[in-house]
């Protein structure tokens, strides 16, 4: 069971995010970092947060940014191959492309300053 001692806790061997700064807002673009190997690296967009609804500890509905179909995913007990561009997944399988809680313009500005020539 997850503990609330910090921004992330372990639940079922995976890190779960349980503070407001790690929640992903609708429209947040992420890369898939776990799950089906054929889907890892795909860029997706958060549609909405499902939350703690079995079988998800911290679930999200996502869609592919390009409209390309997921290589494969489970839909109930059926393995679907190349038929869907929307899916449900766990938060720990998503890495946001912009730090959650930061304004995108602030993040861009930080990158420009950090990489400015000396």
- List the chain domain ranges: 8-114
Q: What integer pLDDT is reported at residue 111 of this predicted model?
A: 46
Q: What integer pLDDT is reported at residue 14 of this predicted model?
A: 47
Question: 39-58 burial by CB neighbour count: b if 16+ within 10 A, else e?
Answer: beebebbbeeeeeeeeeebb
CA distance 118 to 112: 12
Nearest Cα residue to 87 out of 74, 104, 102: 74
Which residues of the chain fall below pLDDT 50?
A: 1-18, 106-114, 116
Q: What integer pLDDT is reported at residue 8 of this predicted model?
A: 43
């Amino acid at each position: 069971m997850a503990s609330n001692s910090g921004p992330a806790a372990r639940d079922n061997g995976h890190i779960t995010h349980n503070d407001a700064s790690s929640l992903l807002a609708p429209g947040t673009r992420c890369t898939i970092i776990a799950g089906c190997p054929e889907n890892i690296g795909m860029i997706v967009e958060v549609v909405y947060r499902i939350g703690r609804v079995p079988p998800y500890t911290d679930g999200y509905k996502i869609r592919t940014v390009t409209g390309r179909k997921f290589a494969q995913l489970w839909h109930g007990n059926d393995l679907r191959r190349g038929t869907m561009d929307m899916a449900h997944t766990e938060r720990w399988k998503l890495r946001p492309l912009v730090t959650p809680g930061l304004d995108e313009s602030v993040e861009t500005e930080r990158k420009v300053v950090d990489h400015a020539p000396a």
